[in-house]
A = this chain, B = another copy of it.
Amino acid sequence: MANSVKIFDTTLRDGTQGEGVSLSVEDKLKIAQKLDALGVHYIEGGWPGSNGKDIEFFHRVKELKLAHAKVTAFGSTRRKDTKAEDDPNLNKILESGVKVATIFGKSWDFHVHKAIQTTLEENLAMIYDSVRFLKNSGLEVIYDAEHFFDGYKNNPDYALQTIRQAEAAGADWIVLCDTNGGSLPGEIGDIVAEVVREVSRPIGIHAHNDCELGVANSLAAVAAGARQVQGTINGYGERCGNANLCSVIPNLQLKMGFSCIADEQLAALTPVARYVSEIANMHMPVGQPFVGNAAFAHKGGIHVSAILRHPKTYEHIAPELVGNKQRVLVSELAGQSNLIVKAEELKLDFDKNNPKVKSVIERVKELEHQGYQFEGADASLELLLREALEGLEEVFTLESFKIIVEKSAGRAVVTEAIVKVKVHGETMFTAAEGNGPVNALDVALRKALMPYYPDIQQVHLTDYKVRVFDEKDTTAAKVRVLIETADLETSWNTVGVSENIIEASWNALADSIRYALIGRTRVEHKEQQPERLGLVNH
Residues of A in contact with B (beta carbons under 8 Å apart):
16-20, 22, 50-51, 110-111, 114-115, 179-182, 184-186, 209-213, 215-216, 219-220, 223, 235, 237-241, 244, 247, 250-251, 255-256, 278, 281, 283, 285-290, 292-301, 303, 306, 309-310, 312-317, 329, 331-333, 368, 373, 375-376, 397-409, 413, 415, 434-439, 442, 460-476, 479, 484, 498-503, 506
Contacts and interface: CB of A to CB of B under 8 A. Distances in A.
A111 B300 CA distance: 17
Identical chains bound together, number = 2
Nearest to A375: B19
Contacts of A289: 181, 209-212, 240
A488 B211 CA distance: 34
A407 B401 contact: yes
A434 to B, nearest CB: 7
Nearest to A237: B287
13 contacts: A19-B297, A110-B312, A184-B255, A210-B289, A211-B215, A211-B290, A213-B216, A238-B300, A239-B295, A402-B407, A403-B404, A413-B502, A437-B502
Nearest to A473: B460
B255 A211 contact: yes
Contacts of A184: 219, 251, 255-256
A285 B287 contact: no
A346 to B, nearest CB: 20
Contacts of A115: 306, 309-310, 313
B212 A247 contact: yes
Contacts of A185: 185, 216, 219-220
A239 B216 CA distance: 19
Given A115-B306, A239-B295, A20 B314 contact: no
A179 B314 contact: yes
A467 B464 CA distance: 8
Given A405-B403, A436-B501, A373 B20 contact: yes
B182 A316 contact: yes
A408 B247 CA distance: 50
B437 A501 contact: yes
Contact of A239 (B223, B297, B403, B439): B297
A77 to B, nearest CB: 13
Contact of A316 (B211, B300, B329): B211
Contacts of A479: 436
Contacts of A498: 413
Given A297-B239, A401-B407, A468-B463, A415 B212 contact: no
Nearest to A439: B475
Nearest to A472: B462
B409 A22 contact: no
Contacts of A306: 111, 114-115
Contact of A439 (B209, B298, B476): B476
Contacts of A434: 475-476
A499 B20 contact: no
Contacts of A256: 184
Given A185-B220, A210-B316, A20 B375 contact: yes
A191 to B, nearest CB: 15
Given A210-B289, A471-B462, A435 B297 contact: no
Given A281-B471, A287-B209, A500 B435 contact: yes
